[in-house]
Amino acid sequence: MFSKLSEVEDRFELLSKKLEDPSIYGDPARLLKVSRERKGLEKVVVTYREYCRVEQELAGNRELLRGDDKELAEMAAMELPDLEAQSERLVQELKLLMLPKDPLDEKNILLEIRAGTGGEEAALFAADLFRMYGRYAEEKGWKVELMSESHASAGGFKEVVVLLSGDRVYSTMKFEGGVHRVQRVPATESQGRIHTSTVTVAIMPEADEVEMTIEAKDLEIRVCRAGGPGGQSVNTTDSAVRILHIPSGLVVQCQDERSQIKNKAKAMKVLRSRLLEKMLAEQHAERSADRRSMVGSGERAEKIRTYNFPQNRVSDHRIGLTLHKLDRFMEGALDELLDALKANNQAEALKGQATE
């Protein structure tokens, strides 16, 4: 590991020198690339240099222990436990920092929420999850853009897709994909019985045109009159756009904008991201980005998390963590659980690294 860390430090120094060259500021694309790479290495280098400093102090103190000056030897002995603890902590930090990076971590995402088993109650809970993630995004300073929505007759969503843009959105949200189960008494339940429903969540990295080129001949595009709530031109002109990607069979429809051009642009963005996710799943079947394994069929038995309202409890079944803070969780306080999922993933990665 330490030979690799020296290489990282050398690369960091090289990139720093490039940024000192005035000519780079005339090439915005190159400047952005170099700046991003340097920023990605900065924390590793700062931690490695701190580790080297602590190791130098440890070597100096151990040398004093072997010396003839008893007073200095006593002082060195007193400092040793603290320095050794610092060294161990820094080694663990470096191990985490040197884990292979997910190339998707810096990406924005398309968040897709669909009602699963449970009828009207599932649609209402889909709307609750939509609000929960919206509040979390607001707390993170992310931008939320509605891409498409399909309302249920009694309220809530059959399906809603939003684009979340900001700092390391995919890295933060990538473990949210799967079946989310809710247990609560529906507003329409007169006997006070607890119902169980499910909602599926998919996390799709945003794909740009460079990553996912789509040939015009592979598309079947139809325009029609937008449905949904009445009023104004949203459902009085042929503004809704339905796109079929013929090779994959994927269908995307957007009707939320009054402009046919804007709806088409949104539909293409969703289609590119779904195709990128499909491609990644085919190339890396073990990845959780495989949407079919991520969202399953929406059956109650397939779940990553349970939201139990009577007990104010949220339980993540992948890591066995239960928090009795569901009220706060639904208001967007997700960090405690998301941080635990990230830590668990890092621990598993470290285990895998140790057995290689």
In the chain, the amino acid numbered 126 is A
Residue 96: name the closest of 354, 346, 348 by CA.
Answer: 346
Identify the structural domains of the chain with CATH numbers, from first to last: 2-97 (1.20.58), 109-210+290-348 (3.30.70.1660), 216-282 (3.30.160.20)
For every residue of 267-323, DSSP letters joined together read HHHHHHHHHHHHHHHHH-TTSTT-HHHHHTT--TTS-SEEEETTTTEEEETTTTEEE
Look at residue 356 in the predicted model and tell me its pLDDT. 52
**Cβ neighbours around 183 below 10 Å, total:** 16
**Distance between CA 93 and CA 248 in Å, rounded?**
43
**Distance between CA 310 and CA 84 in Å, rounded?**
48
**Distance between CA 194 and CA 190 in Å, rounded?**
11
Look at residue 10 in the predicted model and tell me its pLDDT. 93
Look at residue 210 in the predicted model and tell me its pLDDT. 53
Alpha carbon distances (Å) from 68 to 59, 71, 75 = 16, 9, 13
Look at residue 264 in the predicted model and tell me its pLDDT. 84
Q: Quick check: 222 and 251 in contact, CB under 8 A?
A: no
202 sits in the region (left: phi over 0; alpha: psi -120 to 50; else beta) called: beta
Look at residue 307 in the predicted model and tell me its pLDDT. 98
Look at residue 42 in the predicted model and tell me its pLDDT. 92
Look at residue 25 in the predicted model and tell me its pLDDT. 92
Look at residue 227 in the predicted model and tell me its pLDDT. 60
Q: Which tokens go with 220? A: 């079947």
Residues of the chain with pLDDT under 70: 208-212, 225-238, 283-302, 352-356
Residues 6+ apart with CB under 8 A from 32: none
Look at residue 234 in the predicted model and tell me its pLDDT. 44
Look at residue 232 in the predicted model and tell me its pLDDT. 43
Look at residue 11 in the predicted model and tell me its pLDDT. 94
